[in-house]
Copies of this chain bind each other. A is one copy, B any other.
């Protein structure tokens, strides 16, 4: 308990710039009665979308492949500690890290809103900035760099 309290304290001051809430729907569960593993990464992407939308990004343009730049996901990792059930209200804490001029990572900590001292799962995604036509590396836009800074 002391350990968790302490962790919570650290997390809330240093690591928690964006909080996303999401209720688990029935469609997210599988025949074992819990959230299907890959859907946890889908929840995390929802947090990413919300953190972009909250800063004024137009999501439809942002995720389109018709602009000059695209930001595909090049890798993802997820660890599962506890199952999630239909009706659970989840909180996802999102934290960004710009790793170079052309790349960034996002970390996600997933909790039930009524147990913020117990991580249910944690995940990360890696993103790269590319020219959409040539598919060659491109520098992150100033807007994106500002966004990354804000939630780092």
Among candidates B23, B29, B58, residue contacting A6 with C-beta atoms closer than 8 Å:
B23
Interface size on A, residues (CB 8 A): 61
Starting from the known contacts A36-B42, A37-B41, A72-B80, 5 additional A-B residue pairs (CB-CB under 8 Å) come to: A8-B23, A25-B46, A27-B42, A60-B87, A75-B78
* A63 to B29 CA separation, bound complex (whole angstroms): 11
The copy count of this chain in the complex is: 4
Tell me if B65 and A74 are in contact (CB < 8 A).
no
Residues of B within 8 A of A80 (CB): 72-75
Q: CB-defined interface of A70-100 with B at 8 Å, one 1/0 digit per residue?
A: 1011111111110101110100000000000
Closest B residue to A46 by beta carbon equals B25
Residues of B within 8 A of A60 (CB): 31, 33, 85-87
